[in-house]
Amino acid sequence: MNEFERYGNLIVISGPSGVGKSTLVNRVRQELPDLQFSISCTTRSPRPGEMHGREYYFLTPEEFEAKVQAGEFLEYAGIFSRRYGTLKSEVLSRLEKGEQVLLDIDVQGAKQIRAAAEKSPELARSVRFVLIAPPSLETLEQRLRGRGSETEEQLQLRLGAAKAELSNYKIYDYIVVNDDLERAAGELTAVLRSFRNLTSTLKKELFQ
Ligand code: ADP
Ligand code: 5GP
């Protein structure tokens, strides 16, 4: 039996809409193929090319509320007049199996997990928070417009929220600026690799 035990760990990434989180994470997954990705629930409509069960579980408001009532969410939040949430079933069993699980959630969700970690030393040891920042607010607007996925109303909501989100940078352990995709993906991959090493620990019995 291997004397080393790999404990699971959780990487929470946040950043303003349009900063490039999905693009970066897809790039990082090419480097770390065993990285697990938690698929969130949302009440927003799918964008062209998005699939139920791949990018999100797309739920009706009633289906979402039923999961809230049943206690199925690790965290959930109201964002841009829609609801988003992380299912416990997407995260907990994978952590127990020793896997690295990545959550792409907003700052309200990150704060909920931070608060839970403050009550649990074991969780605190197993979670790191990464903020993805744009090189400038102008670049963010260009990317969001360039993606062409939002109505003008949703676009304004997203740009309006960006500054407030970035002002929460202090709750994050790392800030990665998504300027050049390859450079930023390299930095994020390094954070994930280093955290794997930190949480890959000798079996407890060896210390006794
Ligand atoms: P998010 O998931 O944060 O909402 P996306 O990954 O959808 O953002 O990216 C928003 C837009 O910006 C997309 O059109 C994407 O191709 C583009 N993009 C992402 N990263 C970069 C980058 N480093 N340089 C230029 N364009 C980028
Ligand atoms: P989008 O609609 O652009 O896919 O995502 C909008 C915002 O919702 C992003 O900031 C994203 O990080 C956040 N988000 C996605 N899934 C979740 C989730 O499960 N919980 C929380 N709190 N935020 C989420």
pLDDT score, position 80: 85
Residue 5's pLDDT band (cuts 50, 70, 90): low
User: For residue range 140-164, what is the model confidence (pLDDT) as tens digits?
Assistant: 999 999 988 889 998 999 999 998 8
The mean per-residue pLDDT over the stretch 125-145 comes to: 95
pLDDT score, position 1: 41
β-partners of residue 129 are: 12
pLDDT score, position 154: 87
User: For residue range 48-77, what is the model confidence (pLDDT) as tens digits?
Assistant: 999 999 999 999 999 999 999 999 999 999
pLDDT score, position 184: 98
Ligand 1 atom closest to residue 180's alpha carbon, by position in its atom list: 23
Give every strand in the sheet of 127-133, ordered side by side: 36-37, 100-104, 9-14, 127-133, 174-177
Q: Is 40 in the pocket of ligand 2 (CB under 6 A)?
A: yes
Q: Which of 11, 191, 198 is nearest to 101 (CA)?
A: 11
Residue 207's pLDDT band (cuts 50, 70, 90): low
> How many angstroms is it from 202 CA to the middle of ligand 1?
39
Q: Is 168 in the pocket of ligand 1 (CB under 6 A)?
A: no
- Calculate the average pLDDT of the chain: 91
> How many angstroms is it from 84 CA to the middle of ligand 2?
6
pLDDT score, position 121: 84
% pLDDT > 90, the chain? 75
The mean per-residue pLDDT over the stretch 107-121 comes to: 92
Question: What is the C-alpha to C-alpha distance for residues 120 and 50, in angstroms, rounded to an integer?
Answer: 36
Question: What is the C-alpha to C-alpha distance for residues 87 and 109, in angstroms, rounded to an integer?
Answer: 12
Q: What is the dihedral of CA 111, 117, 118, 124, to 10 degrees?
A: -130
Instruction: Spell out the domains of the chain, with CATH numbers in brackets.
Output: 1-38+99-197 (3.40.50.300), 39-90 (3.30.63.10)
User: For residue range 77-106, what is the model confidence (pLDDT) as tens digits?
Assistant: 999 889 999 999 999 889 888 899 999 999
Cα 140 versus chain centre, distance: 18
Give helix 152-166 / helix 137-147 axis angle, nearest 10°: 150
DSSP codes of every residue in 40-72: EEESSPPPTT--BTTTEEE--HHHHHHHHHTT-
C-alpha triplet 174, 37, 6: angle, nearest 5°: 75
